[in-house]
Amino acid sequence: MAPSVRDGRVGNLPAEANAFVGRQTELAALSGLLRDCRLVTLTGPAGVGKSRLALRAAHAERGLFPAGVWLVELSELKNPDLLTNAVAQATRLVEQTLRPLLEAVCEHLAGGPVLLVLDTCEHVLDECARVVQELLANVPELHVLATSRQPLGVAGEHLMAVAPLPLGERDDAVALFAARAAAAVPSFELTDDNRAGVAAVCARLDGIPLALELAAVRLRGFPLHRLLEGLDSRFDLLVSPARPLLVRHQTLRTAIGWSHELCTPLERLLWARLSVFAGGWDVEAAEFVCHGGPVDAEEIMALLASLTDKSIVTREGEGAAVRYRMLDTVRSFGAEWLAALGEEGTVRRRHRDYYRWTARQGEAEWLGPGQRVWAERLTAEHANLRVALEECLASEDPESGLELAGSLWYFWFACGFAEEGRGYLERALCRASGTGPEYSLAVWAHRLVTVVPEDLEAAESVSAAYVWLAQERGLPVPALPLTGASLAVRGESARSALLYGPGSQGPGGGGGAEFYQLLALALQAYVMAGQGAFERCATVAEKLRADCAKRGELWMRAWGDFFVALSEIGLARPDEALHSVCEALSAKWRVHDRLGVAAVCDLLVVTQAARGDPVLAARLLGVGGRLWHTAGLPRLGAPEETVFRREYGRLLRAALGDAVFTQLVEEGHSLDEEAALRLALGEDPSDAKA
């Protein structure tokens, strides 16, 4: 997904699901704090509205941060070691770098006033403190707005305690309850006759927003006076003026508990089982993970609909993209219930097995017509994949961790999560013995996501690891040109031809074997282009395109388009090159390969310059600079050192003059990703969706 852009401002803030009610005093105070303080932490008990207040303030103060406002949701993060990865992913930094990731994040966020919103920090508090301290020290114009039940404890932190809503009949608690009640029951109106009853409900719930929202939904089945009676019967035993914080905690738990009591037994059981998911889930995942005993798989869709009606579960998206999720507090209640039922281990293993199966299916189908769907599906399931990986790595069977981390090689390598993949693969390899096909797959996957073309030794190790993997799987051993390609990118074209060796069709079979067969053709084209053998390069690239077309594959097909276009440029046919380079750009975007998008954009600079459009070429040079910066691995090395950027930057500057050239490059660099893509494809950048 591209960063959202509204009024020229970049970020990833989601649209607010419903109207924000009240908190005007807090919003005014936050407005001043975000101007004057670099770290502001909203503290308070669960359900008090910290996250919603932070989101509203971030929306309201976007104008202060032209370099971006980025939300990092941490509630689904189980492993604190992945916090920096979460920040990188939220801010659209593709993890294709071998330098320390936090260093890359600091560089990525530099360059202007920027706001980072870290939501739900309490369960990764120590790592949050460390990362925030490092970011603030190295990014001078960065501001951080955090939400947490506890302070981060970082020097310079300004704390703002978020209290429950005021309880008077004309105050925010009543207004919030009335707004949510009207959404649940359209006929509901706040009147002089029912205002006192609403205020009494709000008082019973201590003005805690989440409790108010859960209670408001109950009006679908209860009149107001019955709702108040039900609350009275449950709260009499809990109120203790001497312990106000405990009361608030008990209040929320009791509100959730009452929602639990109003569910049917099957709904309660499904609620408990759904708590193993992180982030969200689709119907297929729920059916596999949560069926069993009294819950039939065929009943789960109807039960999900019922839990959605009761506001226990929220539904997002339409059609095939429908997903469900639970608020963190509601999920925690379900997890406690699951443990009490004695089912936690069973359901967690079922969750693990479902995502192992998902990863294997994705590997088998990656080089096919469903590639874009798999890229989107696995990106959506990223949090659940992490949970499954942690479950595998904690199990007594080391092979399961090897299998899952290795099977996801295409996700780590092609979808921009190489740094995270390296970490999981290293952990899995440390636990296992050096034998077996799962170990070979993990070794190969680790070397694949670690390789940088300038590193000759690493390139050779990838080839060696794949030979080992092919032998383990009983496949023909291929001769692969990674060594030759590595030399070519370093400018040693003549030597690359000697080391390239004979061509190979590669092994048959699915998954990594087919990938390597296509990779061999792509690297052969790469080496030939480096030698200036453009006719031969085009022939190999056309074969690559044809082989990919048979499979309906996009990711590697785009590299075929890239090398066909590069060959046309080399043969002085830039008009013919334009179609292929645009096809490559569009395909790389559709499968979320931002590093590939950046590489293709560089070729588009050359294409448009050769076609006689230096103005567009200069703007695209700026676009490419931003894309490489976002990718974290500049042009498979350093962007200023590439032939494309160095030579065409010099030529375009000479053609346009320093002032015009600099202005056009800055214009391109200022565009967000979606607007930049539209510019590159010859469309109006202003049509990019907000």
CATH number at residue 299: 1.10.10.10
Could you give the number of structural domains in the chain? 4
- Pair (106, 73) in one structural domain: yes
Check pLDDT > 50 for residue 135.
yes
- How far apart CA 374 and CA 511 sit, in angstroms, is 13
Check pLDDT > 50 for residue 690.
no
| Whole-number pLDDT of residue 481 | 43
| Whole-number pLDDT of residue 456 | 42
- Pair (12, 150) in one structural domain: yes
Domain boundary (91, 126, 161) is at 161
| Whole-number pLDDT of residue 543 | 92
Is residue 419, in this structure, part of any structural domain at all?
yes
| Whole-number pLDDT of residue 484 | 42
| Whole-number pLDDT of residue 639 | 39
Is residue 54, in this structure, part of any structural domain at all?
yes
Is residue 35, in this structure, part of any structural domain at all?
yes
Is residue 615, in this structure, part of any structural domain at all?
no
Is residue 586, in this structure, part of any structural domain at all?
no
Is residue 478, in this structure, part of any structural domain at all?
no
| Whole-number pLDDT of residue 453 | 46
pLDDT bracket for residue 211 (50, 70, 90): confident
pLDDT in tens, 305-337: 999 888 888 888 887 788 999 888 888 889 999
- How far apart CA 374 and CA 592 sit, in angstroms, is 11
- How far apart CA 690 and CA 145 sit, in angstroms, is 23
Q: CB within 8 A of 472, min separation 6: which ones?
A: 436, 437, 440, 441
Estimate the crossing angle of helix 344-365 against helix 382-394, to 10 degrees. Answer: 120
- Pair (130, 247) in one structural domain: no
- Pair (249, 297) in one structural domain: no
3-state secondary structure of 292: strand
pLDDT bracket for residue 685 (50, 70, 90): low
pLDDT bracket for residue 513 (50, 70, 90): low
Helix locations, 342-436, DSSP H: 344-365, 371-380, 382-394, 398-407, 409-414, 418-431
| Whole-number pLDDT of residue 512 | 55
Check pLDDT > 80 for residue 159.
yes
- Pair (8, 92) in one structural domain: yes
- How far apart CA 95 and CA 449 sit, in angstroms, is 10
- Pair (31, 106) in one structural domain: yes
Q: What is the mean pLDDT of residues 485-513?
A: 40
Check pLDDT > 50 for residue 205.
yes
> Which of 228-237, 488-497, 510-519 is predicted least confidently?
488-497
Check pLDDT > 50 for residue 451.
yes
- Pair (140, 45) in one structural domain: yes
Provide, rounded to the nearest whole percent, the portion of the chain with pLDDT above 90.
32
Strands (E), 293-361: 314-316, 323-325
In 3D space, the residue among 414, 401, 397, 498 whose CA is nearest the CA of residue 448 turns out to be 414
Check pLDDT > 70 for residue 2.
no
pLDDT in tens, 86-122: 998 898 887 665 668 888 899 889 888 999 999 999 9
In 3D space, the residue among 66, 64, 67, 77 whose CA is nearest the CA of residue 118 turns out to be 77
- Pair (408, 325) in one structural domain: no
pLDDT bracket for residue 454 (50, 70, 90): very low
Pairing of strands 39-43, 142-148: parallel
Q: CB within 8 A of 186, min separation 6: which ones?
A: none
- How far apart CA 105 and CA 282 sit, in angstroms, is 31
Is residue 247, in this structure, part of any structural domain at all?
yes
- Pair (133, 20) in one structural domain: yes
| Whole-number pLDDT of residue 636 | 43
Give the range with max mean pLDDT: 182-196, 229-243, 407-421. 182-196
pLDDT in tens, 383-437: 999 999 999 999 888 888 999 999 998 898 888 788 889 899 999 998 887 777 7
Q: What is the mean pLDDT of residues 659-688?
A: 78
Contact 151, 50 (CB under 8 A): no
Contact 387, 78 (CB under 8 A): yes
pLDDT in tens, 663-674: 888 888 887 777
- Pair (257, 269) in one structural domain: no
Token code pair at residue 31 = 């407005």
Q: 């039900």: which residue's tokens?
A: 230
Domain boundary (342, 370, 390) is at 342
- How far apart CA 253 and CA 668 sit, in angstroms, is 51
Domain range for 244: 182-261
Q: What is the CATH number of the domain that holds 141?
A: 3.40.50.300
Mean pLDDT over the full length of the chain = 81
Contact 387, 278 (CB under 8 A): yes
Token code pair at residue 134 = 């490092």
Check pLDDT > 60 for residue 472.
no
Provide, rounded to the nearest whole percent, the portion of the chain with pLDDT above 70.
82
| Whole-number pLDDT of residue 119 | 93
> Which of 50-59, 232-241, 645-654 is predicted least confidently?
232-241
pLDDT bracket for residue 485 (50, 70, 90): very low
- Pair (251, 295) in one structural domain: no
Q: 């049509």: which residue's tokens?
A: 687
pLDDT in tens, 27-76: 999 999 999 999 999 998 888 889 999 999 999 999 999 888 999 999 88
Q: In Å, how far are 89, 141, 221, 233, 479 from 226, measured between CA atoms?
A: 47, 53, 10, 11, 76
| Whole-number pLDDT of residue 233 | 63
469-476: long-range contacts, CB 8 A cutoff, minimum separation 24: 469/437, 469/440, 469/441, 469/443, 469/444, 469/512, 470/507, 470/513, 471/440, 472/436, 472/437, 472/440, 472/441, 473/437, 473/440, 473/509, 473/513, 475/507, 475/508, 475/509, 475/513, 476/506, 476/507, 476/508
Q: What is the mean pLDDT of residues 213-231?
A: 83
Check pLDDT > 80 for residue 290.
yes
What is the residue type of 292?
Answer: G
Check pLDDT > 80 for residue 234.
no
| Whole-number pLDDT of residue 75 | 87
Higher pLDDT among residues 279 and 1, named by residue: 279
pLDDT bracket for residue 342 (50, 70, 90): very high
| Whole-number pLDDT of residue 346 | 94
pLDDT in tens, 546-570: 999 888 888 889 999 999 998 898 8
- pTM for this model (two decimals): 0.79
Is residue 475, in this structure, part of any structural domain at all?
no
- Pair (437, 394) in one structural domain: yes
Domain boundary (229, 261, 293) is at 261
Check pLDDT > 60 for residue 379.
yes
Check pLDDT > 50 for residue 166.
yes
Contact 59, 13 (CB under 8 A): yes
